[in-house]
Structure 1
Amino acid sequence: MPHLFKRNRALLDGALQAMKTREFWTPFPEVPSGKIYGETARADGEADFAALVGKPFSIPDHPEDVHLGKEQSPWGLELDLSYPAAPVQTLLAASEAAFAEWSQTNIETRVGVLLEVLSRLNKKSFLIGHATVHTTGQAFPMAFQAGGPHAQDRGLEAVAAAYAEMTASALDAVWQKPQGRGEPIVLRKHWTVVPRGISLTIGCNTFPCWNSYPGLFASLATGNTAIVKPHPMAILPLAITVKVLREVLAEEGLPVDTVLLAADEPETPVTREIVEAAAVKIVDYTGSSTFGGWIRKNAGDALLFTEETGVNSVVITGTGDFSGMCANLAFSFALYSGQMCTSPQNIYAPKAGIDTDEGHKSFDEVISGIAAAIDHLLADPEQASSICGTIVSPATMKRIETARSAGRIVRDSGTASAGRSATPLIVAVGDEDKLHEQECFGPVVFAIATGTAAEAIDRAACLARDKGAITAAVYATDQHLIDGAAASFARAGVNLSVNLTGNIYVNQSAAFSDFHVTGANPAGNASLTDTAFVAPRFRRVMIRWPISD
């Protein structure tokens, strides 16, 4: 048994068990505590990050013609970082050369390497957290979790899912077929797991690690080599990841070019050239549906796994805890200024209002209650900064300005922190306005009055089916309405949360339990990390021969 597989076997077994039961489990604590990670971990991570700023980022033995990079921290810190870069054809040739050996490496060796990498990345969670802060604009608590333990959970989940699928059937067998009175036919059979080739991971600006790790680790576990193409404004978290991967590969005497970084700058992007390369056989993509559509047309015969644009909705038909509902939604709308693929955007509620534990509330009172809860949540500037973070792209600020004119402003957007920031904008819109029927990425909330509660459910579900959605939330006291919503959103391919009022939010997706994205509507064609996400990345090829006496 390969030594890294043996060393990390308990980690793999825990993941396999959790994926089977779908109960809570994590080996990577999400709390940035010195009692967990070491008393000096926070200071060490901050010092390690500071030591990187203003210098070329080194990845030993990585193909390199130039160093480049133009990341800008949304918090205002001058990063002045650069990364090794080489022509696309150089990267492809290096990846193909590494594939010859990595694809032949046995399953346990590959999985052992990746488990070791994830364990080492966990020890670097404070460094990765600071890298995530200054490339995504998240506040540190969220950046630590999303760039560190939560991303590592998703990577481990992908490795475990791939291992389970590759070992689901025997790799060797003796096959006997009776022949009546004659001797049986006896064959020995052996199956080889054959990966597809080079995989391309296209990272996003907002969650570079969380969204990239599942596809990256699934491809590597199944024997494919990987080229990691970060968003040009969020390179550092994935550059650290690539460096750790290559370090472990080098220690094990395996080809370091199994994993390569394709860094670029906004003015000279390389993504299209890599996508169009015939050698690329798998593409994992997170981003807009516009570019996703281009990839679909130009990726040749490569497998494509996507998470794309969607419109997430909240339907409010009644509640037994009005203040709890408003507080829960306030946090969901404010968290990272709505820059999450799971963030809710639209609120649908009957124009006649709803029944609550505080009596009947009109439509306006429901929306005003949510606005007041946001004001209360963000009243303290330090807390507001921690929750909202900053706005990662200037284009988001333009969307906020456009949304202001879409209807009646219930709550205007304001500043939340140093750097580029914005708090949630709430706009009540009528049927004549269609802006709410497309994703308005950022801290923008549209409130839509409907004729009935059933109509509210139907409109939200139909929008999800047509335009895509990753999450949906329903508040109701009528079980008949809840049952109807469950059926409607299931048909629309959307994961549904019902009556959330405590410290769990519609934005959150738990590894080993929640399947993130369903792949059943336009918001994405893949689900993290079901069988369909890992199994197509390899094929089984058989050799058989007769056994004679």
Structure 2
Amino acid sequence: MVDHFARHRDLLLRAVEAASQRTFWTPFPEIPSGKFYGETARADGKAAYDATLNAAFEIGDHPQESRVGGETSPWGGDLGISYPAAKPETLIAASQSAAEGWADAPAEARVGVCLEALARLNAMSFLIGHATEHTTGQAFPMAFQAGGPHAQDRGLEAVAVAWDELNRTAASSLWEKPQGKRDPIVIEKRWHLVPRGVALTIGCNTFPNWNGYPGIFASLATGNTVIVKPHPGAILPLALTVRVLREVLAEAGLPRDAVLLAADEAGAEITKSLVTDPAVGIVDYTGSSAFADWIRANARDTLIFTEETGVNSVTILGTDDFAGMCANLAFSFALYSGQMCTSPQNVYVPRDGIDTDEGHKSFEDVGRVLAQAIDALLADPERAASVCGAIVRPEVSARAEQAARQGRIIREGAPTGVGRSATPWLSVVDGPDQGPHTDECFGPVAFLVPCDDAEHAIRAASGIARRKGAITAALYCTDPDVIDRAGRAFAKAGVNLSVNLTSGIYVNQSAAFSDFHVTGANPSGNASLTDTAFVAPRFRRVMVRWPKAA
């Protein structure tokens, strides 16, 4: 057997330190450059991706009763890939058969498998980037990062937190209680680390790896077998991941069925059958709150981690860099056509306008310059496509336009002319309380919301986060006292707040080893990637004790 843990021990210890310190660190370069990945990596990755098209995707010794597949690139064309598929009961049985061998493996062996798999996946980042680009519609630079290094960072962070939790307390002890003049009571104690069972990861269409890796690797490191159920439109990135994990498991002499792919097709999904199987002890889910509600109602004894629907906001009360603010927000609105869970949607602005370094700006001025900033950013069609990416499904564009037209349009969205790529709509609504902006409008649309004053804007933005959920919030303000009050309001609403971003950091971005993604403190999700509450419940400590012989 191969000792992967020894090879990656230093990486693990550095990851544990980084997760504790929350400063910048990454072992996986985010730049798609031959300097980091090898001179031929770009060409090799593209060739490897092309080789997957119009072919059978093979996963060694994987349960197979049929073949499925129906992925279509948002940039155009069918992928033509078929994947091994099996009935839910077949997958569950295979996962359970692997459970004892995987749970009984030393934590070092399990963690070593995870670390080696992440290293191999990192070396495949160009292939994964193309797979992500053509299943999600992300432009290649984002697809490379989100499907590759940034997802790998989140997976490694989960493994590091799991390792820390697994070793937080002693595995055995000699317990000795004094009895005065009598002999002490001496008990030997040992704790078994018991996993919850089969862990089901339900992948999303937009960020399959980035959202999937934390749950997959946290569950594996803590001894749970994992069934990966991709979205039917984005199977390839997770299928590549499953194949690598199974190869590493086999090399380590551990059961390959500790990781399985549950591929299916649109209209014939097997998700509900898997969720409700009694053997499933953990569900990791990213997607709509409607299906999250169904999971909660039908998997009552299951440990459920969710990232769900939310309404992200921007509150503009003033700025000392008006042009920088507008440029920053324009990029945030346009990036991947508003299809990120962190994309801003509602912009709350006082009706009387704001004070800036360019003088007082009316509410109308703010909207007009934001629209102009979007136009300037996306003036070149090629650049527009690279920023906006492609719409993941055609109905997303239709819903965004329908929502925008319920308000007063100040910028019309339009196709970029490349694939299913489109620029964002900008619409003004009457106020905070009623309109299309009071729910998540997934896709390329944002709303300007007039408020009575600064306090009203803060209450409206933090209030919708508390009621409907939010993953991100942004604030622009020059008054320290108001910033402090707003910070407290958003903290109570359970949403992470970014203040006065005007340059190269955007509210959309979330950095592994530093930012906790989602807080679990409002309806946008009950989990936070990747804090101890996300990892520690995946296993339990069970004691065996006996009197020590004299």
Secondary structure in 2 matching 1:422: coil
- The one-letter code sitting in structure 2 at the alignment partner of 1:122 is N
On the 8 A contact 1:384/1:417 being kept in 2, the answer is no
Q: Shift of residue 149 of structure 1?
A: 0.1
Amino acid at match of 1:250: A
Q: Name 1:539's counterpart in structure 2.
A: 540
Residue deviations 1:75-134 (CA, integer Å, cap 9, x gap): 003310110001110000000000011011111110011000000000000000000000
Note the residue ranges of structure 1 that are not aligned, 5 or more in a row: none
Equivalent position of 2:495 in the other structure: 494
SS of the residue aligned with 1:103?
helix
What residue is the counterpart of 2:18 in the other structure?
18
The DSSP-based 3-state class of the residue aligned with 2:278 is coil
Which residue does the alignment assign to 2:152?
152
C-alpha contact (below 8 Å) 1:186/1:546 kept by paired residues: yes
In the alignment, the residues of structure 2 paired with residue 174 and residue 119 of structure 1 have an alpha-carbon distance, to the nearest angstrom, of 39
Partners of 1:3 and 1:103 lie apart in 2 by 17
Question: Is the counterpart of residue 520 in structure 1 residue 511 in structure 2?
Answer: no
- 1:300-319, aligned counterparts within 5 Å? 300-319=300-319
Structure 1, 417-426 or 230-239: larger mean CA deviation: 417-426
Structure 1 CA distance for aligned equivalents of residues 154 and 416 of structure 2: 30
Q: Deviation of residue 218 (structure 1)? A: 0.4
Alignment of 1:103-122 (within 5 A): 103-122=103-122
Q: Report the Cα distance in structure 2 between the residues aligned to 1:157 and 1:459, rounded to whole angstroms.
A: 34
TM-score by length of 2: 0.99
- Superposition pairs for residues 408-423 of structure 1, below 5 Å? 408-423=408-423
Partners of 1:404 and 1:479 in 2: how far apart?
34
Paired AA for residue 154 in structure 1: R
Matches within 5 A, 1:121-270: 121-270=121-270
Counterpart position of 2:43? 43
Q: CA deviation at 1:404?
A: 3.2
Q: Which amino acid aligns with 2:481?
A: H
Aligned CA distance change for structure 1 residues 535 and 527 (closer, same or farther; 3 Å): same
Q: CA deviation at 1:2?
A: 7.6
My pick for the range that moved more, 1-10 or 162-171, is 1-10
- Preserved CA contact (<8 Å) 2:401 2:425: no
* 8 Å Cα contact 2:48/2:127 also seen in 1: yes
Deviations 1:238-263 (A, max 9, x none): 00000000000011111100000000
Specify the code of the residue in structure 2 equivalent to 1:320. Answer: D
Q: Distance in 1 between matches of 2:483 and 2:172?
A: 50
Provide the C-alpha distance between the structure 1 equivalents of 2:219 and 2:225, rounded to a whole number of angstroms. 7
- Partners of 1:311 and 1:395 in 2: how far apart? 19
Query: Which residue of 1 is the match for residue 277 of structure 2?
Result: 277
Q: Which segments of 5 or more consecutive residues in structure 2 lack a partner in the other structure? A: none
Deviation per CA, 1:205-226, whole angstroms, max 9, x where unpaired? 0000000000111011100000
Instruction: Compute the displacement of 1:417 (Å).
Output: 4.4
Q: Distance between the aligned counterparts of 1:326 and 1:169, measured in 2?
A: 50
Kindly indicate whether the alpha-carbon contact (under 8 Å) linking 2:70 and 2:78 is maintained by their aligned counterparts in 1: no
> Does residue 443 in structure 1 map to residue 444 in structure 2?
yes
2:424 is matched with: 424
Deviation at 1:267, TM superposition (A): 1.6
- Identical positions, percent: 65
The equivalent residue for 1:476 is 477
In structure 2, C-alpha distance between the alignment counterparts of 1:389 and 1:383, rounded to whole Å: 10
**Counterpart for residue 549 of structure 2:** 548
Aligned partner of 1:220: which letter? L
Structure 2 CA distance, aligned partners of 1:532 and 1:434?
Answer: 36
Question: Would you say the 8 A contact 2:385–2:422 is kept in 1?
Answer: no
Q: Return the alpha-carbon distance in structure 1 between the equivalents of residues 415 and 499 of structure 2.
A: 31
Q: Distance in 1 between matches of 2:244 and 2:252?
A: 13
Q: Quick one: distance in 1 between partners of 2:194 and 2:2?
A: 20
Match in the other structure for 1:510:
511
1:98 is aligned with what amino acid?
Answer: A
Tell me the distance in 2 between the aligned counterparts of 1:403 and 1:309: 16
Matched letter for residue 406 of structure 2: A
Contact 1:202 1:231 in 2 (8 A): yes
Cα deviation digits, residues 486-519 of structure 1 (max 9, x gap): 0110010000000000100000000000000000
**Kept in 2: contact 1:77–1:134 (CA 8 A):** no
- One-letter code aligned to 1:192: H
The aligned residue for residue 378 of structure 1 is: 378
Report if aligned partners of 2:413, 2:425 keep a CA contact under 8 Å in 1. yes
1:479 offset after TM fit, Å?
1.0
The answer (yes or no) to whether the contact 1:276–1:300 under 8 Å persists in 2 is no
- 1:159-178 deviations in Å (ceiling 9; x for gaps): 11111011000001111111
Structure 1 runs of 4+ aligned residues shifted over 3 Å read none
* TM-fit CA distance, 1:11: 1.0
**Is the Cα contact below 8 Å between 2:2 and 2:252 reproduced in 1?**
no
Amino acid at match of 1:468: G
Q: Do residues 392 (structure 1) and 392 (structure 2) align?
A: yes
SS of structure 1 residue aligned to 2:104: coil
Partner SS, residue 483 of structure 1: helix
Aligned equivalents of 1:496, 1:300: Cα separation in 2: 33
User: Which deviates further from its counterpart, 416-425 or 369-378?
Assistant: 416-425
Farther off after superposition, 139-148 or 292-301: 292-301
Paired with 1:225 and 1:354, the residues of 2 have a C-alpha distance of 54
In 1, distance between residues paired with 2:434 and 2:311? 15
Which residue of structure 1 lines up, in the alignment, with residue 407 of structure 2?
407
Q: What is the aligned partner in structure 1 of residue 342 from structure 2? A: 342
Query: Does the aligned pair in 1 maintain the 2:401–2:445 contact within 8 Å?
Result: no
Q: Does the CA contact (< 8 Å) of 1:335 and 1:388 recur in 2?
A: yes
CA contact (8 A) 1:57 1:82 kept: yes
CA contact (8 A) 1:2 1:112 kept: no
Counterpart Cα distance in 1 of 2:90 and 2:264 = 14
SS at structure 1 position matched to 2:410: strand
The CA deviation string for residues 301-334 of structure 1, in whole angstroms up to 9 with x for no partner, is 0100000000000000000000000010011000
Q: Is the 8 A contact 1:314 1:474 kept in 2?
A: yes
Report the residue type matching 2:490 in the other structure.
F
Offset of 1:385 from its aligned partner? Answer: 1.0
Name the amino acid aligned to 2:411.
R
Letter in 2 for 1:42: R
AA partner of residue 500 (structure 2):
N
Q: 1:397-435 CA deviation, whole Å, 9 max, x = no partner? A: 121221232111111101124111210100001037421
Q: How far apart in 2 are the matches of 1:320 and 1:49?
A: 47
CA distance in 2, matches of 1:40, 1:452: 57
- Distance in 2 (CA, whole Å) between partners of 1:382 and 1:404 is 25
> Matched residues in 2 for 1:433 and 1:280: separation?
41
Q: Distance in 2 between matches of 1:417 and 1:6?
A: 51
Check whether the contact 1:2–1:109 (CA below 8 A) recurs between aligned residues. no
Q: Distance in 1 between matches of 2:369 and 2:405?
A: 22
List aligned pairs for 1:289-368, cutoff 5 A.
289-368=289-368
For 1:22 and 1:42, how far apart are their aligned partners in 2? 31
Paired residue secondary structure (1:311): coil
- Deviation, 1:548, is 2.3
Question: 1:504 is matched by which residue type in structure 2?
Answer: I
TM-score, normalised to structure 1, is: 0.99
**Amino acid in structure 2 at the alignment position of 1:473:** A
CA RMSD of aligned residues (A): 1.0
SS across alignment from 1:73: coil
Tell me how far 1:543 sits from its aligned partner. 1.1
